[in-house]
C-alpha cells in the first residue's frame, strides 16, 4: 500500500507540472471552457481512481487527475485576472484564492484520512465528484467566457521543451529524498532537465511571441518580489 501511495503521488505531481493549460486557456478554447473541461476531467479521473482494480490503473488515473488539476489551476488565475479589473480588487481576490489553496493543502490530508478510515480509500476519490459537479454549476452561472483575442498561435516547441524540463526536474526532486542528491538517478534527471531548459531558452530567445517572455527575468521589480 505504501508503494502504491508513492506511485500515485509521483504520477499526479509529474502530470501536474506542465504549463500547457495556461497557454491554451487564453487562446483557442477560452478560459471558462477550459476551466470546465479541467473540472470534468478531474471528476472523471477521480471516478476512475475510485474504481481502479490494479495499481497500474490507479496510477494512470492519478496521472490523468494531475492533468485535470493543471487545467484547473492556470485558467482559475486567468479568470481572476480577467474578472477583477481594479488592481486592488484583483489583489484581494488573489489573496483569498491563495489563502483558500493554503488552507486546502492543510485540511485535505486530514479530511482524506478521516474519509479513508470511515468509508474506505476509494471514497477519498469519489467525494470529489459531487464537489466538481457543484463547482461546474457555479462556474456556468457566474463566470463569463473570455480569451485573448489578439494572441498568436501556440508555441508548441516551447511548450514541449518546457514540459520536458519541468518533468525531469520534478522527477529529480521526488527521487532525491529516497536516493540522495548525488545519486545517479537524481543527477541524471537534473542534467537532462538542464539540457531541456537550455534548449528552451535558446528556442524562445529568437521568437517574437515566445511562450515565456525571458525579458521578465531582467525586471528588478519582478525579481524583488521573490
Mind listing the pLDDT tens digit for each residue in 5-55? 444 556 666 666 555 555 555 555 677 888 888 899 999 999 999 998 888
pTM: 0.72
Above 80 in pLDDT, residue 172? yes
2 pLDDT band, cuts 50/70/90, is very low
Residue 187: per-residue pLDDT: 92
Above 90 in pLDDT, residue 166? no
Burial class of 27 by CB neighbour count within 10 A (0 to 12, 13 to 18, 19+): middle
Instruction: Decide if 115 contacts 123 (C-beta within 8 A).
Output: yes
Instruction: Decide if 162 contacts 216 (C-beta within 8 A).
Output: no
Instruction: Decide if 32 contacts 79 (C-beta within 8 A).
Output: yes
Above 50 in pLDDT, residue 62? yes
Residue 133: per-residue pLDDT: 94
Mean per-residue pLDDT, 201-226: 64
Residue 178 or residue 146, greater confidence? 178
Greatest alpha-carbon span in the chain: 56
Residue with cell 467566457: 145
Tell me what the pLDDT averaged over the chain comes to: 78
Amino acid at each position: 500500500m505504501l508503494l502504491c501511495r508513492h506511485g500515485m503521488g509521483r504520477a499526479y505531481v509529474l502530470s501536474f507540472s506542465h504549463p500547457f493549460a495556461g497557454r491554451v486557456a487564453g487562446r483557442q478554447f477560452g478560459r471558462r471552457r477550459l476551466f470546465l473541461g479541467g473540472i470534468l476531467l478531474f471528476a472523471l479521473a477521480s471516478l476512475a481512481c475510485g474504481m481502479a482494480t490494479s495499481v497500474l490503473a490507479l496510477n494512470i488515473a492519478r496521472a490523468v487527475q494531475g492533468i485535470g488539476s493543471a487545467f484547473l489551476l492556470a485558467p482559475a488565475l486567468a479568470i481572476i485576472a480577467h474578472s477583477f479589473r481594479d488592481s486592488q480588487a484583483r489583489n484581494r481576490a488573489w489573496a483569498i484564492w491563495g489563502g483558500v489553496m493554503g488552507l486546502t493543502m492543510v485540511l485535505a490530508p486530514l479530511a482524506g484520512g478521516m474519509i479513508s478510515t470511515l468509508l474506505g480509500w476509494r471514497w477519498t476519490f469519489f467525494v470529489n465528484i459531487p464537489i466538481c459537479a457543484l463547482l461546474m454549476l457555479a462556474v456556468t452561472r457566474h463566470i463569463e467566457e473570455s480569451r485573448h483575442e489578439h494572441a498568436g498561435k501556440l508555441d508548441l516547441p516551447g511548450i514541449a521543451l518546457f514540459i520536458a524540463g519541468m518533468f525531469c526536474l520534478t522527477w529529480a526532486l521526488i527521487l532525491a529524498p529516497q536516493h540522495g542528491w548525488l545519486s545517479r538517478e537524481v543527477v541524471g534527471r537534473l542534467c537532462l532537465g538542464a539540457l531541456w531548459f537550455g534548449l528552451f531558452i535558446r528556442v524562445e530567445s529568437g521568437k517574437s511571441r515566445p511562450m515565456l517572455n525571458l525579458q521578465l527575468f531582467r525586471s528588478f521589480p519582478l525579481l524583488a518580489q521573490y
